[in-house]
Amino acid sequence: MNSPIVKEKLIRKGAEANLYYGNWFGNEAIFKHRVPKKYRLEELDKRIRTKRTLNEARALIKVKNYGLNCPQVYEIDVESSSIVMKYIKGEKLKDILDQMDESKKIKLFKKIGIFIAKLHENGHVHGDITTSNMIITDNDELFLIDFGLHDYSDSIEDKSVDLHLFKRVLISSHGTHYEMCYAAFLKGYKEEYSKAQVDESTSIIKNIAVIETRGRYVKKEDRL
């Protein structure tokens, strides 16, 4: 008898977690398994992996309630520090951005801005907004993935860092399209955020320049 849960192949080996493609009760799925770290005490390592697994899974569940596209969580296995998620069939934005025409880029990046604004409005910081963590499906739906560095915060500083990291990604990986895409992103972000909190969205965006002048990032736990 075939197992209803099958990991078929490793598709990405990361520093913190490995991703496997497989099947979960007849559904194509991604298995995200946080691997043990031998340099940490076993009990501490287990606690850290469990905490991060639960944090990511809960974030994915909550984010869907805001009407944002992200992978559906099928199962959380605390014992093995694993999350089983729906497989999103599509292409990473990073791989197809160059093929898009100007109008499509503008429309898409405005939508990305709206997505991130909704996260920030509800006290979520993604932590790793990159074009590698966005999937575009065949019918042009946008999915935000990989909430492994997700955190909860209402801090303007944390939200500004989230945006600034995305800005750096656009400059370093998509320099040719940076100005147009970033402008469209900020337009969507401001329009969505300002529906409820006009002043805060302005402060978040202005603070990006402050972060840039510092030349380095200060970890949240190290801030005064």
At residue 197, the 3 state secondary structure works out as: coil
Q: Encoding tokens for residue 5?
A: 């849960």
Q: Encoding tokens for residue 123?
A: 């006290």
The active-site residue, picked from 45, 95, 101, 128, is 128
Element (H, E) at 168: helix 156-173
Q: For residue 146, indicate whether it is catalytic.
A: no
DSSP 3: -
Radius of gyration for the chain, computed over Cα atoms and rounded to the nearest angstrom: 18
Asked if 156 contacts 195 with a C-beta cutoff of 8 angstroms, the reply is no
Q: Which residues are designated catalytic?
A: 128
